[in-house]
Every structure is written in structure tokens, then in C-alpha cells.
Amino acid sequence: MNLPSKILEEAVEQLSSLPGVGKRSALRYALFLMNEEEAKVHDLSESLMRLKTHLHHCRHCHNVSDTEVCPICSSEKRQRGIVCVVENVQDVMAVENTQQYRGLYHVLGGVISPIDGIGVHDVEIDSLIRRVQTGDPYPVEEVILALPTTMEGDTTNYYINKQLQPLGVKVTTLARGVAVGDSLEYADEITLGRSIMHRIPFEG
Amino acid sequence: MNLPSKILEEAVEQLSSLPGVGKRSALRYALFLMNEEEAKVHDLSESLMRLKTHLHHCRHCHNVSDTEVCPICSSEKRQRGIVCVVENVQDVMAVENTQQYRGLYHVLGGVISPIDGIGVHDVEIDSLIRRVQTGDPYPVEEVILALPTTMEGDTTNYYINKQLQPLGVKVTTLARGVAVGDSLEYADEITLGRSIMHRIPFEG
């Protein structure tokens, strides 16, 4: 792309480093900002910096938080003996939105993926094991594995489960099956298979 | 969206003001930046501010430029008597990329659109007329109208042409027709119609 200005070029370069943003979108964003009021661009730019300077990972569950311990971990209304293990912050938000879960979380920040060079110590597995071992901040009775059903997710599940077995904690995983409202005809075989295998008593 | 942090929420709010960016993408960008190195986020944030503080519109053609007069307007190798009128900066880049045009530009920064509240004085039409009238910075022999073929573009073309007529300058517009490599079968009727109406001598 032949940009008419070095400053514009630099902004496009920087913006296109965002995930899923190409040069064309980056240029659109840059030209849009150029025509915005200075105060607005200043706010945006400050707000991005604050992501680095003021945003933390919760000391216990590693979810993002404005405070050292996140509101979920410090809430007295949650079932503190249950820990749901998820890959990332978005997954916490997805589970929270169901309003069906009252336990705590543990955000791994990724899953084991040797191809991408992500080993067991690059994600927050050690801290999860320690959390169960020491009962700090709260004793853990059940660990729910809610990782993606990919090879990497399965590998991570397997590794975590192996580490947790000796500790005598209950390990569960999410029920998988045909989505509510979906017709069987269009469900893939693996999903439908699981729905049948893990069938539950009918509540009439 | 129920975000776990005020700071994150603010960043998502700011980022989703970019054109075509929804809350979900904004969240992805914010979490990505949170995990980037501080220096990188600092560079991005600085670079966005510079768009407001250091980037100019060229005094003559209103293209974006690091200098008061852009490299195209100040180049001695361009045909200074020809001015191509375009809607925005991206259009300048598109024409430049063809490497077929050696004249100058005039960037309107939009087209007349009463519905969006954009009148003739909200875009750089007055400065174009003045440019032709005064011959400053260079005498203009031909104005090429290269605006979009929309109702707004047509209105703008019509208005500019009416203003330019008394000045005795040659006014031309882009040839429109079936794209090179496209089959006639799939061309829309208006485009194909124009291709036939404006047929040119065969160069064997």
C-alpha cells in the first residue's frame, strides 16, 4: 500500500497488528480517527494505555480485573468450593451470561499446544494445581473442565486431570450434545452420539 | 456485554467507535493489547495521537500529508494543469496505484448528501473552484471528475460542472464500462450500456 504520509503509514502499521485487522481496515480506522476530534482520539489512546498500566489479572483466578482480587473471587455469594477451568476471559463472560453458575473460575490464558510452542508452564495450570493442593484462597471440592473440544483442549484436560487425581478432588466436564432448539437431522454425528451416550432421566 | 472490569469496558467502548468494529471485535482487540508488551501499546497509542497532532491536509489538494504541501503537489514531474477530483484519500491511492495518471488531485473529503446533512460548503468544492479561478498554485486546464456513480456523486458532479462552466476549463469524467477480463454476460445493463455508448476506435 502506497500511503501518502509516514505518520499515516505508521498508524496503519500499528493498527494492523490487531488480530484480524488488515491494512485496508487499519487505513479506514486511521483516516476515521484523523477526522475525529482531538479529545476523542486522546481518550482512545489513553484508554488503550490504561489496559497496560491499570488492568490486572486476578491473583487467584487470573481473570482480568481492576483490583488485585476480582469481584467474583471476593464475592461471598459464590460457591467457593467449585472452580470452573476455562481457556480465556471471553469464556468466563459466556458462562456468567448463562446465570446458571455460582462457583469460581480459573482462567488458563490458553491451552497446551506444542505446535504453537505453548507448554504446560506457559498457561496457568501450575497455579490451578497449587490452588487445589493448598486450599488457598478457598478449599476446592470440584474442578469443572470447560476447555474447548479440540485436540489442544483434550490434551490440556488430560494433563490437568492427571495432576488432580492424586489430590482427591472431584473432576467434572461440561455436558456436550445437540443444542437446545437444534434438530437432530443437522447435528454432526459426534455431537449427537454424545447426546445419546450421556442421556439423562426425563423430567416429566 | 457484562465485562469484568471498568477499564476494559472503557477500552471496548472506545474501540467500538471505530467504523465497522462491534463490541465483540473491540473486546478481542482490547484483550490482545492487554497481553502485548507495554512498549508496543505505547507506540500504538502515540501513533494514533500523532494522527491528530502531526498529520495535515495538503494546502492545495487536501490529501493527507506530513508536510503543508503534499509530495504530489510539490513534485515537478507531475502535469500540473490537470486536476483529478476524488471523494477521499483512498481514491487518490487507488488512482496512484494504476501508475497511469501524472496530474494532480483535489480531495473533496466527501460528496454532497443532503440526507446526511452534507452541503456544498462542507466539502472542498469552494477551494476547487478558487483553484481554477485563481490559477493558484498552478493554472488548471482540465478537471477530471472521478466521484462515485451514486446519486450523491452525480449531484456533486453536476454542481461542480455548473460552477466550472463559466471558467472555460475542460471538464471530463472517468470512462465507465465492463471491467477488463469480465464477461459481458454477467455485466449489469447500465455498465454494459455505457460500454457500448462510449465505444472507442479499435487499435489493431
Concatenated DSSP letters of A125-156: HHHHHHHHHH--SS---EEEE---SSHHHHHH
Residue B65 near chain A (CB below 8 Å):
yes
**Mean of the pLDDT values across residues B44-64?**
93
Minimal CA separation from A70 to chain B, in Å: 8
Helix or strand or coil: residue B167? helix
| pLDDT tens per residue across span A56-104 | 899 999 999 999 999 999 999 999 999 999 999 999 998 998 888 999 9
Nearest CA in chain A to B14: A44
Q: What pTM value is reported for the model?
A: 0.80
d(CA B16, CA A85) in angstroms, rounded, equals: 29
State whether the Cα torsion A17-A21-A25-A29 is positive or negative. negative
**Mean of the pLDDT values across residues A136-164?**
94
pLDDT of A164 > 80? The answer is yes
**Mean of the pLDDT values across residues A131-153?**
94
Q: How many beta-carbon pairs under 8 angstroms link A with B?
A: 159
Judged by CB atoms within 8 Å, which residues 152-171 of B form the interface with A? none
Nearest CA in chain B to A54: B7
The grid coordinates listed for B31 are 484483550
Distances (CA, A) of B128 to A3, B124, B184: 23, 6, 37
Q: Do B64 and A34 touch (CB under 8 A)?
A: yes
Q: Identify which of A78, A62, A38, A27 has the alpha carbon closest to the alpha carbon of residue B52.
A: A38
Across the strands, what pairs with B118? B113
d(CA B171, CA B84) in angstroms, rounded, equals: 10
d(CA B97, CA B202) in angstroms, rounded, equals: 26
Comparing CB atoms, the residue among B8, B25, B48 nearest residue A45 is B48
Which residues are within 8 A (CB) of B111 and not within 5 positions of it... i.e. 6 or more apart? B87, B118, B123, B147, B148, B150, B152, B153, B155, B156
Q: Do B4 and A32 touch (CB under 8 A)?
A: no
CA dihedral A183, A185, A186, A191 (to 10 degrees): 90
Show residues of chain B in contact with A14, CB under 8 Å. 43-44, 47-48
Q: Do A52 and B38 touch (CB under 8 A)?
A: yes
Show residues of chain A in contact with B70, CB under 8 Å. 4
Q: Do B27 and A53 touch (CB under 8 A)?
A: no
Concatenated DSSP letters of B126-149: HHHHHHHHH--SS--SEEEE---S
Given this model, what pLDDT does residue A18 score? Answer: 95
Encoded amino acid at B45, one letter: S
**Mean of the pLDDT values across residues B116-120?**
94
pLDDT of B71 > 80? The answer is yes
